[in-house]
Amino acid sequence: MSIVIDALSKRFGAFAALNGVTLEARPGEFLALLGPSGSGKTTLLRMIAGLDFPDAGHVLFDGVDMTDTPAAERRIGFVFQNYALFRHMTVADNIAFGLTVRARRDRPAKADIRARVAELLDLIQLPDLGHRYPAQLSGGQRQRVALARALAVEPQLLLLDEPFGALDAKVRKDLRRWLRDLHDRLGLTSVFVTHDQEEALELADRVVIMNRGLIEQIGTPREVYDTPATPFVSAFVGETNQIPVTIAAGRAAYAGRQLDVPTAGISDGPAELHFRPHQAELGADVPGTLPILVGAARQRGGGWRVDATLDAQPIEFDVSGPVPDRGTRAGLRLTDVQLFPVR
């Protein structure tokens, strides 16, 4: 199922939660809405679900305007951050809920519902836990039950609000992979909200980065990481060092010292220079490099992450060779940078 979000706006009192958001999810796509809290990502998800309604704009499913259709009639699967399992019902009754509440003429026969529940319990790999109550399950198990409950009505669109937020790191990693696999197998279109950039980059086909009710960038994980469209995206996705520079005659300079970095397409004037810890090489303090003072180093992956200061500003970079001594003055040659003009 394709989703089109067209110029969606929503205010809560004086607070603009969404400020004219437009985007599209293609059939079969796994889309992540990524942003800090208050960025409007959850509001957007709730509007796709029909749990909130926009002040302006439209939501279309497969070209059909669903803007004013209530959640109950949208046939979507929604997984809540805290699962919202019905605590007074068994796991099996929870999963069957979306089927048993249907009007009699649409309701499958009891045996069919039972079969469907058994099938879903198998799918979530909890075949023997149908008779348990939600309180008797672990967090990861609850999460999977919530997913099975959402899938029972055979939605074409699956919406997930911070689906792994309440789980510990190990369970989170396993579930992530399992969910992605499930999405592909069932041919769903899925949208999930997260504030965890690692999760978004690992799981999603495309990532929508939101900030203050606006979309900053939409792109594949690679695109948003390698070519961030705005300083916000660059800082929010992955680790970034930011330093103020001035562009003059096509050359960037930090505090009067010219740097050997490409400046194609950036007009003269003040700019923000971003580079990631791995986009720098340590060398001698010579022209064209950033003059830094080396601080502490810590093991990170296969190499070392070094803390340094550029004047008073903290800078982080990676080294794969020998670790520089603390207190050394050195030069940092930037191998790749992002430049954003300051307006």
Partner 1 sequence: MTRAAATESPLGRRVLIGIGMVFLALFLALPLVVVFVQAFAKGWPMFLDAITEPDARAAIRLTLLVAAISVPLNCVFGVVASWAITKFEFRGKSLLISLIDLPFSVSPVVAGLIFVLMFGAQGWFGQWLIAHNWKVIFAVPGIVLATVFVTFPFVAREIIPLMAEQGRDDEEAAVSLGESGWQTFWHVTLPNIRWGLLYGVLLCNARAMGEFGAVSVVSGHIRGLTNTMPLHVEILYNEYDFVGAFAVASLLASLALVTLVLKSLLEWRFGYHQARSAH
Using CB under 8 A, list all residues that contact partner 1. 49-51, 70-78, 80-82, 84-88, 97-98, 101-102, 133-135, 139, 149-150, 152-153, 166
Residue (58 or 75) nearer to partner 1, CB: 75
Compute the distance between CA of residue 33 and CA of residue 21 in angstroms, rounded to an integer.
12
Query: How many residues does the structure list for the chain?
Result: 343
Residue (65 or 154) nearer to partner 1, CB: 154
Residue (100 or 242) nearer to partner 1, CB: 100
Residue (76 or 113) nearer to partner 1, CB: 76
Structure tokens at 33: 């809405």
Least gap, CB of 165 to partner 1 (angstroms)? 12
Sign of the Cα pseudo-torsion (258, 264, 268, 271, in order): negative
Least gap, CB of 89 to partner 1 (angstroms)? 8
Compute the distance between CA of residue 197 and CA of residue 207 in angstroms, rounded to an integer.
9
Compute the distance between CA of residue 98 and CA of residue 107 in angstroms, rounded to an integer.
10
Residue (102 or 177) nearer to partner 1, CB: 102
Indicate the burial class of 104 (C-beta count within 10 angstroms; 0-12, 13-18, 19 or more): exposed
Least gap, CB of 273 to partner 1 (angstroms)? 44
Compute the distance between CA of residue 296 and CA of residue 278 in angstroms, rounded to an integer.
17
Indicate the burial class of 278 (C-beta count within 10 angstroms; 0-12, 13-18, 19 or more): middle
Is residue 170 helix, strand or coil?
A: helix
Alpha helices in 10-155 (DSSP H): 41-49, 91-100, 110-123, 139-151
Least gap, CB of 34 to partner 1 (angstroms)? 22
Query: 228, 190, 243: which is closest to 33 by C-alpha?
Result: 190
Indicate the burial class of 73 (C-beta count within 10 angstroms; 0-12, 13-18, 19 or more): exposed
Structure tokens at 225: 């990481």
Residue (87 or 343) nearer to partner 1, CB: 87
Least gap, CB of 169 to partner 1 (angstroms)? 18
Least gap, CB of 179 to partner 1 (angstroms)? 18
- Please state whether 14 falls in left (phi above 0), alpha (psi between -120 and 50) or beta: alpha
Least gap, CB of 51 to partner 1 (angstroms)? 5
Residue (52 or 202) nearer to partner 1, CB: 52
* Phi–psi pair at 81, nearest 5 degrees: -55, -45
Residue the block writes with tokens 């969910």: 179
Least gap, CB of 119 to partner 1 (angstroms)? 17
Residue 336 DSSP label: S
Least gap, CB of 30 to partner 1 (angstroms)? 19
Query: What is the spatial order of strands in the sheet that 15-25 belongs to?
Result: 15-25, 3-12, 56-61, 64-65
Residue (148 or 210) nearer to partner 1, CB: 148
Residue (96 or 215) nearer to partner 1, CB: 96
